[in-house]
Amino acid sequence: MTTFSELINILFWDLTAAILLYVALNILVRSLYSKPSTVRRNLPPGPKGFPVVGALPLLGNMPHIALAKMARTYGPVIYLKVGTWGMVVASTPDAAKAFLKTLDTTFSNRPPNAGATLLAYNAQDMVFAHYGPRWRLLRKLSNLHMLGGKALEDWADVRSSEVGHMLQAMLSSSLRHEAVALPEMLIYSMANMIGQVILSRRVFETKGKEVNEFKDMVVELMTSAGYFNVGDFIPALAWMDLQGIEKGMKSLHKKFDDLIGRMLDKHLESAHKRNAKPDFLDVILSNHDNSEGERLTTTNIKALLLNLFTAGTDTSSSTIEWALAEMIKNPTILKTAHNEMDRVIGRDRRLLESDLPKLPYLQAICKEAYRKHPSTPLNLPRISSQPCIVNGYYIPENTRLSVNIWAIGRDPDVWENPLDFNPDRFLSEKNVKIDPRGNNFELIPFGAGRRICAGARMAMVLVEYILGTLVHSFDWELPVGVDEMDMKEAFGIALQKAVPLAAMVTPRLPPHCYAP
């Protein structure tokens, strides 16, 4: 006799098969009855894919690598059918420029997806918001009061103080002959920097369980939001959550919502005690409206804080981690950086942000890390608002766009010996003027155009200042018993090191240089 649970299981799989069959027949019927056109024949080349799911199975666990291989076969602009959606991928500087500069207006919006809906408060944030008045208000307030040049100058003392706390913790680990777990240190420091700017307080007073939980939450968000979720591409199957991604997103969103809610409550409770200059949250709470009549809700504000605390910590920290890993793996690069810093700064004080323009080799190291290990390997997706032509190919309306920044950084037609980590390439006459802020499409770690990462300027300051301070302050080497640096990647919106960097540090400066 069939048990009730067995019956439910049979019905579930019968229903699943029926849905798949329905979707497949629907696609087949539409393809049989649709009229052939020259427009359809002029789509960019790409792999055929499979019925119903299209090219989704071809992307595997490392889509940026799979798409880079496809580009070598099909060319700089490829077109894939992923479920019911079309997707175009640009994999060279010229192709990226065509989409992100020439057709910037056409590709100014983000496609709908579970990450935007379930994590980012139904796209009420700045990253996923529809291009329009609310997005412009969020961007304007963020640039004026946190992410722009003047705002960064105003909060320089916060960065210096938090870096001092991190150095002190690393020095303590050194004296105990313990390896430094770099990702935790960086997340702790950067979250406190952002906390002081946004909320006028350090969000983590001590490095411990709470910090590690926050780091795990940030990594989980960046990983899950980077998945190619079947439900995003085959809407008829979204309710089934076949990969379990949406269930995880809902749970993670609740954790972040609770955390951000507590931050807002504490900020409001302490308002009468704060006599210092207004922080970022004070500013956005008092600037709800813009000239276009857009009003920020509490949900918009919580979504924006989610952006700033996650993207503001994870992407910069992963770039610093990759750069240090490459320098430990290549001791000659580390020695050259030390020599430059000792010549410019000396060894009786800490690095200051005002020293950075005088350290071209350090800046070259940062650019090389952006090139070889871009924080977002596939630039955040966009979607076409109307049909367009690129390189003679027709791109239909509602086509998703991915720019493979990882592939551009490793293209042998663009970079000599692209798999080598070689900062000297940015000191040569050919590349010395290449800038990562979105105008040189050989190096676009933050994207380009109107949807370029809003925090690009802040990220560059954080990466140069923190990486420079860590290099100047310590010698770095692998822990005893670890013979080789593991450089494997873990895919997500942000490109993580699969094995987090742990290293032994030896101080190079007098003890007073390690105080907050």
Q: ∠ at Cα 14 (80, 2), nearest 5°?
A: 150
Closest CA to 77 of 450, 389, 434: 389
Copy the structure tokens of residue 368: 């090389």
Q: Pick left, alpha or beta for residue 262 (phi over 0 → left; psi -120 to 50 → alpha; otherwise beta).
A: alpha
Closest CA to 302 of 494, 119, 453, 145: 119
Task: List C-alpha distances in Å: 98 to 89, 103, 106, 303, 381.
Answer: 12, 6, 11, 31, 15
Task: List C-alpha distances in Å: 173 to 204, 205, 512.
Answer: 19, 18, 16
* Total residue count of the chain as it appears in this document: 516
CA distance 281 to 255: 20
Given a contact cutoff of 8 angstroms between Cβ atoms, the answer to whether 96 and 448 are in contact is yes
Q: Directed axis angle between helix 298-329 and helix 133-142, to 10°?
A: 60
513 annotated among ligand-binding-site residues: no
CA distance 462 to 312: 10
Q: Directed axis angle between helix 360-372 and helix 298-329, to 10°?
A: 110
Task: List C-alpha distances in Å: 294 to 135, 228, 452.
Answer: 9, 33, 22
For residue 214, count other CB atoms closer than 10 A to its CB.
22
Which amino acid, 174? S
Sequence-distant (≥ 6) Cβ neighbours of residue 112 within 8 angstroms: 123, 232
For residue 18, count other CB atoms closer than 10 A to its CB.
10
3-state secondary structure 182-225: HHHHHHHHHHHHHHHHHHCCCCCCCCCHHHHHHHHHHHHHHHHC
Copy the structure tokens of residue 229: 């979720």
Copy the structure tokens of residue 72: 């070598």
* Binding-site sequence positions: 453
* Binding-site sequence positions for heme: 453
